[in-house]
Amino acid sequence: MSEPLLRVQGLTKHFPVLRGFLRRRVGTVRAVDDVSFDLHKQQTLAVVGESGCGKTTAGRAILRLVEPDAGHVWFHGKDLPTLDAPALRQMRRHMQIIFQDPYSSLNPRHTVGQIIGRPLVLHGVAQNTADAEDQVRQLLVRVGLQPKYLSRYPHEFSGGQRQRIGIARAIALRPDFVVCDEAVSALDVSVRAQVLNLLMDLQSEFGLAYVFVTHDLSVVRHIADEVVVMYLGQIVERAPRTSLFLRPSHPYTQALLSAAPEPDPAKRRQRIVLAGDVPSPMNPPTGCRFHTRCPLAFARCRVELPAAHTVADAHTVACHLYEGRQEPVDLLAPG
Ligand code: SF4
């Protein structure tokens, strides 16, 4: 395959937990721990997991909206975490984000024209205000909104329309990479499908690559080329979409998929209910972080972090059970 557009290697982000009047450090939240993956041009990589698994932090650390503690993010030949502020500003043009909440991600005091047009002026893509307005009108039409909305404020729009404004802002500078951070989660089901289709159309029109952060497996099924599954800050499984849905292999992935709605009765899986809650990322379990909930855990799982084992083409699973084995374990098998 060709060189990836984005290469993430060993990305790590920990947050200090501060308490008391003196704000003493009492712990560390290990939000993202040693995460690695590649993203190719015009591809969509979905990052999935339950809330608190670190997927949103990973997306933001890639863009340096939060500063990573360690790791590399190679993009256009540059390692993003090492760039100084001016170089990072230059690079921002090529990478954008669409946020989850269309209600809080747009400045309520700015008109749509200002929200979408400002980056065009700042990055020199528009020559002047009139040119910026012209480009904003075209962008509004492209995302399915009327050009006259230019002078309106965010509160005058529905959730779906606001998300379209967020999308117009994200594509205004013609980036080649966009992080979609739960970009459709806050929308009604019917609107969600329309916005997903819009994102896919824009992907082929502008050659965009997406990192799609989501907890929703029906969205993954619709939009992803590749999937990484995260649990407590680490990747537990990584696979092309078809391979993941055909043969989910990590016990956590199997449980996650068994809980997802399946429209085709023939493909419905028996529900696997995991014991207990997700442990705190402040004090994650030793060894395999999933061992406190894994029905197949054995002594080694409590002490040794599993390596990633290849079970099919481009399909890897971080679980000791796949040492020398490729066929999926069966969580529902008796005894
Ligand atoms: Fe379960 Fe052990 Fe595999 Fe972790 S390494 S998923 S605890 S069997």
Rounded distance from Cα 51 to ligand 1 centre (Å): 20
Q: Is the Cβ atom of 55 under 6 angstroms away from ligand 1?
A: no
- The whole-number pLDDT of residue 298 equals 96
Its pTM stands at: 0.93
Residue nearest to atom 6 of ligand 1 (CA): 319
- What's the pLDDT tens digit per position in 97-140? 999 887 788 999 999 999 999 999 989 999 888 999 999 999 99
> Considering the chain, what percentage of its residues have pLDDT values greater than 90?
79
- The whole-number pLDDT of residue 274 equals 87
Q: 61-78 burial, b for 16+ CB within 10 Å, e for fewer?
A: bbbbebebbebbbbbeee
Helix (H, G, I), strand (E, B) or coil at 184: coil
Question: Cα–chain-centroid distance for residue 266?
Answer: 30
Q: Is the Cβ atom of 287 under 6 angstroms away from ligand 1?
A: no
Rounded distance from Cα 281 to ligand 1 centre (Å): 18
Q: 10-22 burial, b for 16+ CB within 10 Å, e for fewer?
A: ebbbbbeeeeeee
- What's the pLDDT tens digit per position in 138-192? 999 999 999 999 999 999 999 999 999 999 999 999 999 999 999 998 888 889 9
CB distance 27 to 283 below 8 Å: yes
Which parts of the chain have pLDDT scores under 50? 335
- The whole-number pLDDT of residue 335 equals 47
Residue nearest to atom 7 of ligand 1 (CA): 291
Burial of 244: CB neighbours in 10 Å, binned 0-12, 13-18, 19+: buried
Domains of the chain, each with CATH number or no CATH: 6-94+177-322 (3.40.50.300), 104-172 (no CATH)
Rounded distance from Cα 104 to ligand 1 centre (Å): 39
Mutation choice for ligand 1 from 231, 250, 253, 288, CB with most ligand atoms inside 8 A: 288
Q: Is the Cβ atom of 296 under 6 angstroms away from ligand 1?
A: yes
